[in-house]
C-alpha cells in the first residue's frame, strides 16, 4: 500500500504528538518517564523511516542530518546538565520520528531544533505569569514578603521564579527559601535561588517554585511548530518589521 508522502508525514507527526502528550502526562504526574516508552516510540520511528527510505518518500541526507542533530543536541544538552534525561530522550526520538519539517515561518528545516527553541520560548511565559500573579497579590495588600528582610531586586527575582505557597503543600514544588542563623542566635528567612535541587519537600506559607518539566513546553512548542512555525524566527521578523528593516 502506497500511503503517499503526505500520508506518511501525517502518521509520523501524529505518533510524535501522541508520544509528547503521553510522556508529558507521565512527567507531570510522576516526574519520570520509563526508558521503555522512548524505546517503543523510537522503534516505531525507525520502522517508519526505513519504509520511507525504501519507498523514496524521504531524502536520506535530510533524514541523517535531522536524526543526527536531534541526537547531538538532545543528549548533548542533557550531558551538560541543561535539562533532565526525559527531555534529551524526547529530542532524540523526535529526531527519528520527525527529523525535518517545512513550516510557514522558518529559517531551517531541522524539526528537533525548532521544537527545542519553541519550547524554551514558551517556557518564558511561566515567569511572566508568576510575576503578574505576585503583583496582583501586592496590589491587594497581601503580605507575601512578610518575614523577609531582602533588597528590592531579590524580591523581584523571587516574584518571577515562584510564589508564596498557602494551604496544603502541593507535589513537585521546590523550596525557594532558607533560614540563616544570625550572630545573636536568631534566624532570618532568606530567598534561595539555587538551581540544583532534588528535594520536593515544602511547607505551607513558604516560597516555592513550580517544578514544571521542560517536556511540557516541548509539547507546546511541537504543536506551535505545525500551526505557526519557528517562534524565534517569527519574533526576529516581527522586530525587523517594527524597525523598518523588512
What pLDDT, on a 0 to 100 scale, did the predictor assign at position 205?
A: 83
Q: Say whether pLDDT at 194 is over 80.
A: no
What percent of the chain clears pLDDT 70, i.e. is strictly above it? 89
Residue 150 per-residue DSSP state: -
Domain ranges of the chain: 5-123+213-242, 125-210
What pLDDT, on a 0 to 100 scale, did the predictor assign at position 196?
A: 53
pLDDT tens, position by position, 198-214: 556 677 788 888 878 88
Mean pLDDT value of segment 5-18: 84
What pLDDT, on a 0 to 100 scale, did the predictor assign at position 106?
A: 93
What pLDDT, on a 0 to 100 scale, did the predictor assign at position 50?
A: 86
What pLDDT, on a 0 to 100 scale, did the predictor assign at position 22?
A: 96
Highest-scoring range by mean pLDDT, 69-78, 149-158, 168-177: 149-158
Output the pTM of the full model.
0.85
Tell me the backbone φ, ψ of residue 209, rounded to 5 degrees: -120, 135
C-alpha span between 119 and 149 (Å, rounded): 36
Going edge to edge, which strands form the sheet with 173-175?
163-164, 207-210, 173-175
Q: Largest alpha-carbon pair distance within the chain?
A: 81
pLDDT tens, position by position, 120-149: 999 999 999 999 999 999 999 999 998 888
C-alpha span between 24 and 212 (Å, rounded): 10
Q: Say whether pLDDT at 197 is over 80.
A: no
What pLDDT, on a 0 to 100 scale, did the predictor assign at position 1?
A: 40
In the CATH hierarchy, which top-level class contains the domain 5-123+213-242? mainly alpha
Contact predicate 70/116, CB 8 Å: no
What pLDDT, on a 0 to 100 scale, did the predictor assign at position 36?
A: 94
Amino acid at each position: 500500500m502506497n500511503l503517499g508522502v503526505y500520508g506518511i508525514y501525517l502518521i509520523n507527526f501524529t505518533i510524535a504528538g501522541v508520544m509528547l502528550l503521553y510522556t508529558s502526562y507521565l512527567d507531570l504526574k510522576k516526574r519520570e518517564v520509563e526508558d521503555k516508552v522512548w524505546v517503543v516510540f523510537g522503534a516505531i520511528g525507525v520502522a517508519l523511516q526505513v519504509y520511507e527510505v525504501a519507498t523514496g518518500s524521504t531524502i536520506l541526507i535530510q533524514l541523517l542530518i535531522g536524526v543526527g542533530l536531534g541526537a547531538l543536541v538532545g543528549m548533548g544538552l542533557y550531558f551538560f546538565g541543561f535539562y533532565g534525561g526525559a527531555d534529551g530522550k524526547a529530542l532524540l526520538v523526535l529526531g527519528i520520528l520527525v527529523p525535518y519539517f517545512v513550516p510557514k515561518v522558518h529559517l531551517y528545516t531541522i524539526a528537533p531544533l525548532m521544537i527545542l527553541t519553541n519550547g524554551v520560548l514558551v517556557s518564558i511565559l511561566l515567569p511572566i505569569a508568576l510575576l503578574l500573579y505576585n503583583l496582583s497579590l501586592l496590589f491587594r495588600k497581601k503580605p507575601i514578603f512578610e518575614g523577609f528582610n531582602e533588597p528590592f531586586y531579590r524580591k523581584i527575582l523571587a516574584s518571577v521564579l515562584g510564589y508564596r505557597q498557602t494551604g496544603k503543600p502541593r507535589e513537585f514544588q521546590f523550596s525557594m527559601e532558607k533560614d540563616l542563623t544570625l550572630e545573636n542566635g536568631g534566624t532570618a528567612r532568606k530567598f534561595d535561588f539555587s538551581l540544583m535541587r532534588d528535594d520536593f519537600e515544602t511547607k505551607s506559607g513558604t516560597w516555592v517554585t513550580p517544578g514544571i518539566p521542560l517536556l511540557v513546553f516541548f509539547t507546546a512548542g511541537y504543536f506551535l511548530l505545525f500551526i505557526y512555525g519557528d517562534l524565534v524566527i517569527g519574533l526576529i521578523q516581527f522586530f525587523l518589521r517594527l524597525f523598518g528593516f523588512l
